[in-house]
Chain A
Amino acid sequence: SQQGEEDPQALSIQEGENATMNCSYKTSINNLQWYRQNSGRGLVHLILIRSNEREKHSGRLRVTLDTSKKSSSLLITASRAADTASYFCATSQGGSEKLVFGKGTKLTVNP
Chain B
Amino acid sequence: SAVISQKPSRDICQRGTSLTIQCQVDSQVTMMFWYRQQPGQSLTLIATANQGSEATYESGFVIDKFPISRPNLTFSTLTVSNMSPEDSSIYLCSVRTGGQPQHFGDGTRLSIL
Contacts and interface: CB of A to CB of B under 8 A. Distances in A.
- Are A and B interaction partners? yes
Interface residues of B, number: 24
Interface in B10-57: 31, 33, 41-45, 48
B82 interface: no
B105 A42 contact: yes
B42 A104 contact: yes
B107 A41 contact: yes
Contacts of A33: 101-102
A52 B38 CA distance: 33
Interface residues of A, number: 20
A42 B42 contact: no
Contacts of B101: 33, 45, 48
Given A97-B31, A101-B42, A43 B104 contact: yes
Dominant secondary structure of chain B at its interface with chain A:
strand
B42 A103 contact: yes
Contact of B103 (A41, A45, A101, A104): A45
Contacts of B104: 35, 42-45
Contacts of B96: 97
B82 to A, nearest CB: 24
Contacts of B44: 101
Given A42-B104, A97-B96, A103 B41 contact: yes
Interface of A: 2, 33, 35, 40-45, 48, 88, 90, 97-104
26 contacts: A2-B42, A33-B101, A35-B104, A40-B109, A41-B106, A41-B107, A42-B6, A42-B92, A42-B104, A42-B105, A43-B43, A43-B94, A43-B104, A45-B104, A48-B101, A88-B42, A97-B48, A97-B102, A98-B45, A98-B48, A99-B102, A101-B42, A101-B43, A102-B42, A103-B41, A103-B42
